[in-house]
Amino acid sequence: MYQKLQQCVQAIRARTDFVPSVALVLGSGLGKYAQEMDLVCEIPYADIPGFPCSTVAGHDGRYLFGYVAGVPVVAMKGRVHYYEGYDIADVVLPIRTMGLLGAKTLLLTNAAGGIDPTFVPGDLMLITDQIASAVPSPLRGPNLAELGDRFPDMSEIYDRSLREQVRQVAGECGIPLREGVYYQTAGPNYETPAEIRCYRQAGASAVGMSTGCEAIVAKHMGMKICGISCITNMAAGILDQPLAHEEVQQVADRVQKQFSHLVTAVMKRLK
Ligand code: HPA
């Protein structure tokens, strides 16, 4: 795996010598974030040997290299999910690659279902902690000692000081920000109401099919991590109505402007 990672880094280095300080994962709701960047280079995942490519129709997959408010950023436009059938270590390969390219900070975004009954679709939620035990650990298998420890501490995955900065920035921008624990499922099916009751009892405020495993490998590498979920729908059984992928997409599109605004304001703070 370490060799594979190095091959990916080499393939990218053959195209650009850009060194990012921040890595950004653009989830649903930030699909058009490239517009906010002064782009220097774009590399489709398909051009990188061994790289996982999304199997979901219409899901673009590429790295965007460029500047946001003067900050050198590498952004992932599109990510692969565990439910697509990839090994979990391949799902997180793009995150590790961004770490090896030089990014010290990781800003994760996603779409998630709201479990906290006080949430409404369209809310943005700062991720305070996570439960990712429904998917295998991405650190399973031989430890990549070049990257980190065998048994890394996860008691503060989402960096306390970054969380405080995001809170402040959101306040200054007048963007209401909820907070809570993110629960990662394996997907691709949405959850049952009984599962959601179980996750709620376990302390989760939102549920989704990405992000948790990404945060684990980034923490393993010693990156500082921050996560923001766009609550696109209420999770199963919270409202007396079925879930529809179209609703998730529509709400993500509706929140796009505010979400982009928050991310850019956070970048300015990171400068
Ligand atoms: N469940 C899981 N993943 C999701 C949801 C959900 O309700 N909404 C958006 N991603």
Instruction: Tell me how far CA of residue 2 lies from CA of 115, 175, 180, in angstroms.
Output: 37, 41, 34
CA dist., res. 34 & res. 107, Å (int): 15
Query: Where are the alpha helices (H) located in 101-244, listed in sequence order?
Result: 160-173, 193-201, 212-220
Cα(100) to ligand 1 centroid in Å equals 30
pLDDT tens, 178-191? 999 999 999 999 99
Q: Do 84 and 135 form a contact (C-beta atoms < 8 A)?
A: no
C-alpha closest to that of 11 among 106, 93, 105, 103: 93
Mutation probe of ligand 1 site: the residue of 109, 115, 196, 232 with most atoms within 8 A of C-beta: 232
C-alpha closest to that of 183 among 128, 255, 258: 128
Ligand 1 atom 6, closest CA: 113
List the catalytic residue out of 89, 233, 234, 235: 233
As given in the structure block, the two tokens for residue 258 are 């505010």
pLDDT tens, 127-178? 999 999 999 999 999 999 999 999 999 999 999 999 999 999 999 999 999 9
List the catalytic residue out of 23, 45, 81, 215: 81
Active site residue 28: yes
Ligand 1 atom 5, closest CA: 113
The average confidence (pLDDT) of the chain is 94
Per-residue pLDDT of the chain (271 residues; tens, 9 = 90+): 899 999 999 999 999 999 999 999 998 888 889 899 999 999 999 999 989 987 666 567 999 999 999 999 999 999 999 999 999 999 999 999 999 999 999 999 999 999 999 999 999 999 999 999 999 999 999 999 999 999 999 999 999 999 999 999 999 999 999 999 999 999 999 999 999 999 999 999 999 999 999 999 999 999 999 999 999 999 999 888 888 888 888 998 899 999 999 999 999 999 8
CA dist., res. 123 & res. 255, Å (int): 8
Q: Is the full-model pTM beyond 0.85?
A: yes
Active site residue 84: yes
Ligand 1 atom 7, closest CA: 113
CA dist., res. 78 & res. 209, Å (int): 13
Cα(208) to ligand 1 centroid in Å equals 5
CA dist., res. 103 & res. 13, Å (int): 14
Ligand 1 atom 9, closest CA: 112
Cα(20) to ligand 1 centroid in Å equals 30
Phi and psi of 105, rounded to 5°? -125, 140
CA dist., res. 171 & res. 115, Å (int): 23
